Amino acid sequence: MKISDIILLASDNLKRNIFRTALTAFGVAVGIGSLSSMISLGKGVSTNISKQMESNDIFTGLTMSSRSMDFDGYSNKTILSDDKKQTVPLSDSTIKEILSWEEVATAFPEQIKPATINLEGKSVVTNIKAIPLEMNGFYPFTKINPGSFYTSESEPCVIMSKIVLDKMGITTPYDSLIGKNIEIITRVFDLDKIDLITSKKKQLPVKNDTTILKIKGIVQTTSFSAGIFNDGIFLPPMTCSFIPSIDLRNVYDIINGEQGKYGKYNTVHIRVKEYAMLKPVKLRLEEKGFSVFSIGDKLEDFEKIFFMLDTVMAVIGSIALIISIFGIVNTLIMAIYERRKEIGIMKSLGATAGQIKMIFYFEAAIIGFGGGVFGVLCGKLISQASGKIANSQLGNFFDSNIEYFSFSWEIVFFSILFSVLVSVIASIYPANKASKIDPLNALRRE
Amino acid sequence: MALIQVEKLSKTYKKGDNKIYALRNINFDIQEGEYVSIVGKSGSGKSTLLNLLGGMDTSAEGGVYYNGKNLLTMNEKDLSYHRKFTVGMIFQSFNLIPSRTAIDNVKLPLIFSNYPVMLRETRACELLYNMGLYNRALHYPSELSGGEAQRVAIARALANKPKVILADEPTGNLDTATSAEIIGLLKMFNEKHNITIIMVTHDKETAYKVSHKTILLSDGEIIKITSNQNK
Ligand SMILES: Nc1ncnc2c1ncn2[C@@H]1O[C@H](COP(=O)(O)OP(=O)(O)OP(=O)(O)O)[C@@H](O)[C@H]1O
Ligand SMILES: [Mg+2]
């Protein structure tokens, strides 16, 4: 008996009860559909999102501070009392030491000044941030478009971020913004007004200072980024230091009467070379008494959510598949009863037990194949739809659309193969039963 | 040596403590090319004997030898070989597969015997043509008359060129004229192609008329074997 014969015989049998066949195959399709989309989700999340995050800074970025801030207790922003945690000053030598570590790609002090910026007649209160030249080539400065990164530490220019432009409500095409002047207004001490305090006129001894710089580039970051790059505008360090501003930290120090206790810098931004190094570096810094924060840690929570989603789908898929296996067994056993006489005739014509079994295996395989193909198709459609929904919900976290589902040809191939395999396994018992039919019994007149 | 030797063949059915002898100590030989009829009253064991000869049933004592090989001790594989190539069976109720056309019914044994795919159509057409059924090839069994259906069954039984045709009351469901037609066909194959025919029938008259040998059964025992060497 040739395979083509078996397929023909099997499909003839299936055609005779096309509705039942379709229902059985549909059961298989549900199982395979949910299983395949689950696998593609698992794969999609682990490859695409990870890739996305790796290209992002959250995987490799750390923020370290001298103060023992409880970053995790984000909501209450507690500053732990000093005797609870010793403070280690953040100075140039600290940064130098950190830079000498093998795992560290770069590190720089986070210098932030509050400012109001005016552009195109619109204004916003934000921070200006000093970013060293070394950050060229690191996320998010790999995403400058249009424009480019600055080429010297004192270039009189800024890099705008898309987030700030959005906040300002600027809709001008970005290309035309390059080279435009931007007004940066900072607050400085007004020595003239100090007298006025003593004369009891209630006015703070401050005044505005305006700096004008050119826009050099626009960085296309999204909010899914480590702290310092979330918003604000970025400046070469020297340029930034020329902009006068009241350093609030100094004020804090003065008030506490312990100038220099926290060192020269508030916080230092560190980039490790790869994600695997994030934890070790974090631990090392914490051992030294620094307080360290990284969103990379939060990735685990993110992964947990996807893992849970995956598990739920796996359970649904498995249950559906188990039910569909029973469906196949049931369909084939019903077929045995219906075709008892026919099987008897076949045996009287010389069909062997093996040949009878083969017909049943192939019937199951065809159901499995049909169900598998249909299931994979549905799985693909469902995952495409859910991918779109996920993108519309989570889109602003990421720079571009993410393929949450990686529905590769391998998944298609192996899902269908698996479907066929499971179906054939389900048919073993019915096939065995059919092959044992006694032709004499089957042909006896009732 | 005889083609078929039946030796001390007994078959019993157990009904509680009772033993019912369907066949009791049967002995006979059949030569190649013989036309043998088995006659006897209802319940005398004719079908039981024919099924044992066809390798459809092996639970009996004694021996059913084809070319010296005992069917009763054969394994499943050899038994299906026997059913496929050595014998062809036809039944009172035709036993065609209703969902398959006449030609597809005829092709079925060719599928099981791995007959070359390219030649199956030709072989099946040839068989149907010989049965005078060429224009019925694409009919379903329900669209055939009793006589036509039985002729399709004969064509199917002959597909793998068996040495022996086993027919259990092949004319039982047919009128006299059609019966004669079927018997005539069997006789033709017996004479022209030297196919051994073993036929169970109620009709003693026909049996004596066409057969070389008539075995008369009663209560599972052979009462008499009549030979007519003129046939
Ligand atoms: N499966 C069975 N279980 C019990 N007894 C059986 C079985 N099959 C046949 N018999 C008995 O064996 C005996 C022979 O039956 P068999 O069918 O061979 O008779 P037969 O000569 O073919 O009769 P008929 O002409 O009516 O077809 C009968 O007494 C019958 O009751
Ligand atoms: Mg009978």
Secondary structure of residue B191 in the 3-state scheme: helix
* Distance from C-alpha of A53 to C-alpha of A272, rounded to nearest angstrom: 14
Cβ neighbours for A82, distance < 8 A, ≥ 6 positions apart: A68
Give the per-residue pLDDT at B67.
Answer: 92
> Mind giving me the DSSP string for A275-297?
GGGHHHHHHHHHHTT-EEE-GGG
- Nearest listed ligand to the Cα of residue B22: 1
Write out the two tokens for A248.
């609030």
Q: Higher pLDDT residue, B228 or B5?
A: B5
Give the per-residue pLDDT at A68.
Answer: 52
Tens digit of pLDDT for each residue in B154-193? Answer: 999 999 999 999 999 999 989 999 999 999 999 999 999 9
Cβ neighbours for A247, distance < 8 A, ≥ 6 positions apart: A113
Nearest residue (by CA) to ligand 1, atom 30, is: B43
The ipTM is 0.95
- The dihedral built from the CA positions of residue A198, A200, A204 and A205, taken in this order, carries a sign that is negative
Give the per-residue pLDDT at B97.
Answer: 95
Mutate one of A339, A349, A357, A359 to test the B interface: name it (highest B CB count within 10 A): A349
Cβ neighbours for B90, distance < 8 A, ≥ 6 positions apart: B150, B153, B154, B157, B165, B166, B167, B168, B170
Beta bridge partners of A61: A271
Q: Which class does domain B4-227 fall in?
A: alpha beta
Ligand 1 binding pocket includes B172 (Cβ within 6 Å): no
* Distance from C-alpha of A393 to C-alpha of B128, rounded to nearest angstrom: 70
Of B95, B108, B113, the CB nearest to A443: B95
* Distance from C-alpha of A395 to C-alpha of A306, rounded to nearest angstrom: 16
CA of B169 to the centre of ligand 2 (A): 7
* Distance from C-alpha of A96 to C-alpha of A247, rounded to nearest angstrom: 23
CA distance B88 to chain A (A): 7
* Distance from C-alpha of A99 to C-alpha of A93, rounded to nearest angstrom: 10
Secondary structure of residue A227 in the 3-state scheme: helix
- The dihedral built from the CA positions of residue B198, B203, B206 and B212, taken in this order, carries a sign that is positive
Q: Is the pLDDT of residue B218 over 60?
A: yes
* Distance from C-alpha of B58 to C-alpha of B148, rounded to nearest angstrom: 32
> What are the chain A neighbours of B56 within 8 Å (beta carbons)?
348, 439-440, 443
Percent of chain B scored above 90 by pLDDT?
91
Q: Supply the DSSP symbol for B86.
A: I
Mean pLDDT confidence for B20-28 = 93
pLDDT bin (cut points 50, 70, 90) of residue B42 is very high
Burial class, A358, CB count within 10 angstroms (exposed 0-12 / middle 13-18 / buried 19+): buried
Secondary structure of residue A215 in the 3-state scheme: strand
Give the per-residue pLDDT at A225.
Answer: 57
pLDDT bin (cut points 50, 70, 90) of residue B54 is very high
* Distance from C-alpha of A20 to C-alpha of A339, rounded to nearest angstrom: 15
Mean pLDDT by 10 residues, chain A (446 residues): 91 92 92 85 71 66 68 46 56 82 83 84 85 81 82 86 83 83 82 62 73 85 63 84 72 56 71 80 82 73 74 81 90 92 95 95 95 92 82 62 75 92 95 94 80
Ligand 1 binding pocket includes B123 (Cβ within 6 Å): no
Which range has the worst mean pLDDT, A44-53, A371-380, B27-36, B43-52?
A44-53
Percent of chain B scored above 70 by pLDDT?
99
CA of B160 to the centre of ligand 1 (A): 29
A window 326-365, beta carbon within 8 A of B: 341-342, 345-353, 355
Ligand 1 binding pocket includes B42 (Cβ within 6 Å): yes
Secondary structure of residue A136 in the 3-state scheme: coil
Give the per-residue pLDDT at A238.
Answer: 83
Give the per-residue pLDDT at A108.
Answer: 83
- Nearest listed ligand to the Cα of residue B48: 1
Largest CA distance in chain A: 123
Q: Is the pTM of this model over 0.90?
A: no
Ligand 1 binding pocket includes B47 (Cβ within 6 Å): yes
Give the per-residue pLDDT at A247.
Answer: 67
Mutate one of B108, B120, B156 to test the A interface: name it (highest A CB count within 10 A): B108
* Distance from C-alpha of A192 to C-alpha of A196, rounded to nearest angstrom: 8
> What are the chain B neighbours of A4 within 8 Å (beta carbons)?
117
* Distance from C-alpha of B51 to C-alpha of B7, rounded to nearest angstrom: 15
Give the per-residue pLDDT at A242.
Answer: 82
* Distance from C-alpha of A256 to C-alpha of A252, rounded to nearest angstrom: 6
Give the per-residue pLDDT at A54.
Answer: 62
For B225, phi and psi rounded to 5 degrees? Answer: -115, 115
Give the per-residue pLDDT at A52.
Answer: 64
List the one residue out of B39, B45, B105, B90 whose CA is nearest residue A9: B105
Tens digit of pLDDT for each residue in B58-104? Answer: 999 999 999 999 999 999 999 999 999 999 999 999 999 999 999 99
Domain spans of chain B, in order of start = 4-227
> What are the chain A neighbours of B95 within 8 Å (beta carbons)?
341, 345, 348, 443
Give the per-residue pLDDT at A83.
Answer: 45
For A370, phi and psi rounded to 5 degrees? Answer: -60, -50
Secondary structure of residue A443 in the 3-state scheme: helix
Give the per-residue pLDDT at A20.
Answer: 93
CA distance A353 to chain B (A): 8
Give the per-residue pLDDT at A199.
Answer: 59
Q: Is the pLDDT of residue B113 over 80?
A: yes
